[in-house]
Amino acid sequence: MRKMVGGCLCGDIRFEITSEPLVVSHCHCATCRKATGAPFITWITLPPEGFAYTQGTPTVYRSSPVIRRSFCGTCGTTLGYASDDHGDELDISAAALDDPALVKPDDHIWVDGMVPWIKFADGLPHLPGSHWELGYPDRAKSTE
């Protein structure tokens, strides 16, 4: 796995990813839409030990009792998402990578909440909820 690096718009925060993603998903849930101000966000889900901030410290906001969302406190760039109930993974915004083309999305999640004016013809699976309840794709098969 090649190391991936990224950061926020203003450059105050930098990070690196050193592990293979568990899954890369376009999330269409209402809370991600509100948090990002966009119709969806693409998350790179990975084990926490495969991620590190190399410069700066993000601001953390609890959007619910168990969810922590991280962002740059200066420019507002969305950086991460983590659940206290699922400490073995964290999500990092693919758009915050210096080269987002390094990841390939596997699917769409929370499509029951997708805005009606978004239509995708990318052939990716559409899941009604999250991987926590529906399972993870076999990335080895999808990258062959």
Q: Which of 106, 79, 93, 109 is nearest to 44 (CA)?
A: 93
Q: What is the pLDDT of residue 144?
A: 46
The strand pairing partners of 5, in sequence order, are 16
> pTM of the full predicted structure?
0.89
Looking at residue 131, its pLDDT comes to 80
**Do residues 40 and 114 lie in contact, with contact meaning Cβ atoms separated by under 8 Å?**
yes
Point out the least confidently predicted range of 34-38, 75-79, 91-95, 129-133: 129-133
CATH topology of domain 4-136: 2.170.150
Q: Give the pLDDT confidence of 45-96 residue by residue, as tens digits.
A: 999 999 999 999 999 999 999 999 999 999 999 999 999 999 899 999 999 9
